[in-house]
Amino acid sequence: MLASVLDTLASGRPWSTGIALGELGRRWKGVVGERLAMECAPVALEAGVLVIRASSAAWGAQIRFLEGEIRDRANAALASEAVREVRVAVGEGSERG
């Protein structure tokens, strides 16, 4: 009974996106490579939009260039089609892409 309650909670939207974001964070080096992982991190996943925070505009441009590959690798890491779009936020505090 407890297991079914936990399954229901985990499948709810806020929990499932939080779990997916946490899984991406854990696998991030494998998704983007070690060097790029040092310069960016996934910060949000909502309604299929993955927001990646980059340390600078130059790294943000690199992420935009690799957007399709990052999307595909993120979905492979999650074994789902959770990511439909990648947006970039540069520096601290901004989540606009």
Backbone angles phi, psi at 18, to 5 degrees: -65, -40
pTM: 0.78
pLDDT of residue 92: 73
pLDDT of residue 16: 54
Q: Write out pLDDT tens, residues 6-51.
A: 454 445 454 456 788 999 999 999 999 999 999 999 999 999 999 9
Q: Which domains does the chain have, with CATH numbers?
A: 2-90 (3.30.300)
> CA–CA separation, 65 vs 5, rounded Å?
42
pLDDT of residue 48: 94
> CA–CA separation, 83 vs 4, rounded Å?
26
> CA–CA separation, 2 vs 71, rounded Å?
35
Residue 97 has pLDDT above 80, yes or no: no
> CA–CA separation, 12 vs 52, rounded Å?
23
